[in-house]
């Protein structure tokens, strides 16, 4: 009798490369691996980047992007797909059509649009195209500046939860609205999950950690949630476990030094 061999639990990340290793594809692969799944990748762009900044960006040609997507999606069964920064309408449309063609339906989308400085990272036209991709996702994970672009108004403590609901209903997707940009005199950080299928709101609290070593947190959060979805957890549990994982990784890297700028979280030094 032939022995049935187990399949890897696999997650695909579609994002840009960070040569410094703190964010993008590199952070995704570390997070997926640390949380217990096999990581595959499709690279949309390469960067010349370190802890101090981004010095150059090279877009991967669309024809090669298509070949990357076809190669992995035709061969490997993925339990979830994480999408990071998609820098142009052509890239967005290519990724969207390929995922639809291969019937991929567990997508965690980190709608990267705004730099830490507050500057837009992608063009207005690309933002419009990205909005069209949101309904294809099972979950989107915007921070407050990105969420403000999606719903066209400012977000504060008073309308924080309502804003998550507004995004979810407008784009027909579940939303994890990250509260790191909220100004609060408290020792806790709060994120809010709106589950569009159940209309339920879940508040997620974690201790606030006093450190600047937070490079790559958004990438790591979305990819860890995708991993827990791949492993079979329902949405609310996967989101809570992802938030806990990133908070622990920040805490374990809070005093570590990699380079001269904003240092990354510690993906693997977990309790």
Per-residue confidence (pLDDT) for residue 123, from 0 to 100: 85
Q: Is residue 67, in this structure, part of any structural domain at all?
A: yes
Q: How many domains are contained in the chain?
A: 1
Residue 69: domain span? 10-253
Average pLDDT over residues 215-243: 97
Q: Detail the DSSP E strand segments found in the chain.
A: 10-17, 38-50, 53-59, 80-83, 107-109, 139-140, 174-177, 188-195, 200-207
The model's pLDDT over 94-106, given as tens digits with 9 standing for 90+, comes to 999 999 999 999 9
How is residue 42 written in tokens? Answer: 């499709």
Average pLDDT over residues 199-212: 94
How is residue 28 written in tokens? Answer: 């995704």
Question: Which residues, at least 6 apart from 119, have a Cβ–Cβ distance to it below 8 Å?
Answer: none
Is the Cβ–Cβ distance between 150 and 110 less than 8 Å? Answer: no
Q: Is residue 265, in this structure, part of any structural domain at all?
A: no
| Statement: residue 181 has pLDDT above 80 | no
Per-residue confidence (pLDDT) for residue 97, from 0 to 100: 98
Per-residue confidence (pLDDT) for residue 180, from 0 to 100: 80
**Residues taking part in catalysis:** 178, 214, 216-219
How far apart are alpha carbons 139 and 157 in whole angstroms? 22
Per-residue confidence (pLDDT) for residue 183, from 0 to 100: 65
The percent of residues above 90 in pLDDT, for the chain, comes to 87
Q: Is residue 4, in this structure, part of any structural domain at all?
A: no
Q: Is residue 3, in this structure, part of any structural domain at all?
A: no
| Statement: residue 117 has pLDDT above 70 | no
Q: Is residue 264, in this structure, part of any structural domain at all?
A: no
The model's pLDDT over 1-18, given as tens digits with 9 standing for 90+, comes to 677 889 999 999 999 999
Who wins on pLDDT, 3 or 137?
137
Angle between helices 124-133 and 89-101 (to 10 degrees): 10
Average pLDDT over residues 32-51: 96
Q: Is residue 261, in this structure, part of any structural domain at all?
A: no
Q: What's the mean pLDDT when you consider all of the chain?
A: 94
Per-residue confidence (pLDDT) for residue 121, from 0 to 100: 74
Q: Is residue 271, in this structure, part of any structural domain at all?
A: no
Largest CA distance in the chain: 64
Who wins on pLDDT, 71 or 184?
71
Q: What angle do CA 166, 168, 169 make, to 5 degrees?
A: 65
How is residue 15 written in tokens? Answer: 């994002």
| Statement: residue 186 has pLDDT above 80 | no
Q: Name beta bridge partners: 207.
A: 188
Q: Residue 184 belongs to a domain with what CATH number?
A: 3.40.1190.20
Give the H/E segment covering residue 67. helix 62-73
Q: Is residue 64, in this structure, part of any structural domain at all?
A: yes
């Amino acid at each position: 009798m032939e022995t049935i061999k187990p399949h890897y639990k696999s997650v695909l990340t579609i994002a840009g490369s960070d040569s410094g290793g703190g964010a993008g594809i590199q952070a995704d692969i570390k997070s997926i691996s640390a949380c217990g799944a096999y990581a595959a990748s499709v690279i949309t762009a390469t960067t010349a980047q370190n802890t101090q900044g981004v010095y150059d960006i090279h877009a991967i040609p669309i024809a090669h992007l298509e070949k990357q997507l076809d190669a992995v999606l035709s061969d490997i069964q993925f339990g979830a797909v994480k999408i990071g920064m998609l820098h142009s309408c052509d890239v967005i449309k290519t990724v969207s059509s390929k995922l639809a063609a291969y019937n991929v339906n567990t997508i965690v989308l980190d709608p990267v649009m705004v730099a830490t400085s507050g500057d837009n990272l992608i063009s207005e036209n690309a933002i419009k195209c990205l909005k069209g991709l949101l309904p294809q996702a099972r979950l989107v994970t915007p921070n407050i500046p990105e969420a403000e672009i999606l719903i066209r108004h400012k977000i504060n403590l008073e309308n924080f939860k309502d804003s998550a609901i507004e995004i979810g209903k407008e784009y027909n997707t579940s939303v994890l609205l990250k509260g790191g940009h909220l100004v609060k005199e408290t020792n806790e950080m709060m994120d809010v999950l709106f589950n569009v299928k159940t209309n339920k709101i879940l508040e997620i609290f974690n201790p606030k950690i006093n450190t600047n070593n937070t490079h790559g947190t958004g990438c790591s959060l979305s990819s860890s949630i995708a991993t827990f979805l791949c492993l079979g957890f329902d949405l609310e549990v996967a989101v809570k476990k992802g938030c806990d994982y990133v908070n622990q990784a920040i805490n374990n890297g809070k005093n570590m030094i990699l380079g001269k700028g904003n240092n990354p979280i510690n993906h693997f030094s977990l309790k």
